[in-house]
């Protein structure tokens, strides 16, 4: 069985200890940091262990501005209340058949319920897909768990260790990917579909990643308007195994794979842990977590061109500390076409940052919106960013924020950047 949580803990401990050595153990009052262009960084929740720790899958936001996310042991909601925020634990994972260690952020489904995955547990021990539904009646208690239903428990041959975000199509079917599992002797992961059926859900494996070409996706999938699926794999059997971008196209009762780009491990980057997003013109954007011209990963674009795809690097991050310094969660794009994201260990202190890339006549310009310093304001984000209706940005850090007595390097934070 895979153990992604061990990866989470080992990967940020070095960085946070480095910050402590730099004297970053400041008082843990609310951090309110002025940024460029008048923006302000603020911690809106510090995890303290009992309410969860080390959030590593990012956030979703609903129309009212409430935030939803996961820690390895919980699903939570953060609700604005006046000038403060209130965290509610919607579900605590019990392990075993209930599952544990979510493999991606929870998404808000068409019915208003939350949908997500666990990378471990379930009846077969290979992870689950679940939904959380709010109580039918108004909750009177301070803590009001949501009703959890397991939609599918993986058995290994149909996938092992779901990763990344789920995605709905217009018909209400769910799509996702697993890091491992699949056909016997391959164990390189699958792409799967869950279809509502007779009050339950039926799983179908759409694609088994081959033994010698595409390997082990770390991110979820993206759908285009025609129903094609797009994603990345962190490894490949091509030219050094630096990862690839792929497309899956429905063809009758099966799906055909088309490799759009194979990373070379040079200035183009390597080892993509992020998925892909589209702009309005149908171009794809993503990131790699390592390599690139400066060693810290890249942001790239695949432009649809004459029936093919033209690859270009938009930005290369500096390799500051460790392997997998770069972005580890999907990018986000605003209405003006600016890209936003986080890095795990880039930034001025090597503890990650929040960045913005803006298109212009001479290329893309880079702005660091916040450089994490460690215990006071957080460290090592593995989070996407989400926007509210006022243009504020939100995300998480997997470490920092205090409570080193409970969590090595701090339990993590939820932050907001206000324009």
Three-state SS for 270-283 is ECCCCCCEECCCCC
Element of type H or E holding 284: strand 284-288
- Residue 292 resides in a domain: no
Q: Which tokens is 71 given?
A: 């820690």
Number of structural domains found in the chain: 1
Residue 10 phi/psi, 5-degree rounding, is: -70, -30
* Domain-embedded: residue 191: yes
pTM value is 0.91
Domain membership flag for residue 192: yes
Domain membership of residue 148 (yes or no) is: yes
Query: Tens-digit pLDDT profile for the chain (419 aa)?
Result: 333 444 434 444 434 434 443 333 333 334 556 555 567 999 999 999 999 999 999 999 999 999 999 999 999 999 999 999 999 999 999 999 999 999 999 999 999 999 999 999 999 999 999 999 998 776 665 567 899 999 999 999 999 999 999 999 999 999 999 999 998 778 999 999 999 999 999 999 999 998 888 889 999 999 999 999 999 999 876 667 899 999 999 988 899 999 999 999 999 999 999 999 999 999 999 999 999 999 999 999 999 888 889 999 999 999 776 678 999 999 999 999 999 999 999 999 999 999 999 999 999 999 999 999 998 999 999 999 999 999 999 999 999 998 888 898 899 999 999 98
Tell me the two tokens of residue 309: 């795809």
Q: Is residue 176 part of a domain?
A: yes
∠ CA(300), CA(103), CA(269), 5° rounding? Answer: 20
Where is 20: in which H helix or E strand? helix 4-21
Note whether residue 283 is domain-resident: no
Residue 203 falls within a domain, yes or no?
Answer: yes
Helix (H, G, I), strand (E, B) or coil at 305: strand
Two tokens at 124? 């077969």
74 to 97, 116, 224, 298, 359: CA distances (angstroms): 15, 12, 31, 31, 38
Beta strands 67-71; 200-208: pairing state:
unpaired
Classify residue 180: in a domain, yes or no: yes
Domain that holds residue 177: 93-211
């Amino acid at each position: 069985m895979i153990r992604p949580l061990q990866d989470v803990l080992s990967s940020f401990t070095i960085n946070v200890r480095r910050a402590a050595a730099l004297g970053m153990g400041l008082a843990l009052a609310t951090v309110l940091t002025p940024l460029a262009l008048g923006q302000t960084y603020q911690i809106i929740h510090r995890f303290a262990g009992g309410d969860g720790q080390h959030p590593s899958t990012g956030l979703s936001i609903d129309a009212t501005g409430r935030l939803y996310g996961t820690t390895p042991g919980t699903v939570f909601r953060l609700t604005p209340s006046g000038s403060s925020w209130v965290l509610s634990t919607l579900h605590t994972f019990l392990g075993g058949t209930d599952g544990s260690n979510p493999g991606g952020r929870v998404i808000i489904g068409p019915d208003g319920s939350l949908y997500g995955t666990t990378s471990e547990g379930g009846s077969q021990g290979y992870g689950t897909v679940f939904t959380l539904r709010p109580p039918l009646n108004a909750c009177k208690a301070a803590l009001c768990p949501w009703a959890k239903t397991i939609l599918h428990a993986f058995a290994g041959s149909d996938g092992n260790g779901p990763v990344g975000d789920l995605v709905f199509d217009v018909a209400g079917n769910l799509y996702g990917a697993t890091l491992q599992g699949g056909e016997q002797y391959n164990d390189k992961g699958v792409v799967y579909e869950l279809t509502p059926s007779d009050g339950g859900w039926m799983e179908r494996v759409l694609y088994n990643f081959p033994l010698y070409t595409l390997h082990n996706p770390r991110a979820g999938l993206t759908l285009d308007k025609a129903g094609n699926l797009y994603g990345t794999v962190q490894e490949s059997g091509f030219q050094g195994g630096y990862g690839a971008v792929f497309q899956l196209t429905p063809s009758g009762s099966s799906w055909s794979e088309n490799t759009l780009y194979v990373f070379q491990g040079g200035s183009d980057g390597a080892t993509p842990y992020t998925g892909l997003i589209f702009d309005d013109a149908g171009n794809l954007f993503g990131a790699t977590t390592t390599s690139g011209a400066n060693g810290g990963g890249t942001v790239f674009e695949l432009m649809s061109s004459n029936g093919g795809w033209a690859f270009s690097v938009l930005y290369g991050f500096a390799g500051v500390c460790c392997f997998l310094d770069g972005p580890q969660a999907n990018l986000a794009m605003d209405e003006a076409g600016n890209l936003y994201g986080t890095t795990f260990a880039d930034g001025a202190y090597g503890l990650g940052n929040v960045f913005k890339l803006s298109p212009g006549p001479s290329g893309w310009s880079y702005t660091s919106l916040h450089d994490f310093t460690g215990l006071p304001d957080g460290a090592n984000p593995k989070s996407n960013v989400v926007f509210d209706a006022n243009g504020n940005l939100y995300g998480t850090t997997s470490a920092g924020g205090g409570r080193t007595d409970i969590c090595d390097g701090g339990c993590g934070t939820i932050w907001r950047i206000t324009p």
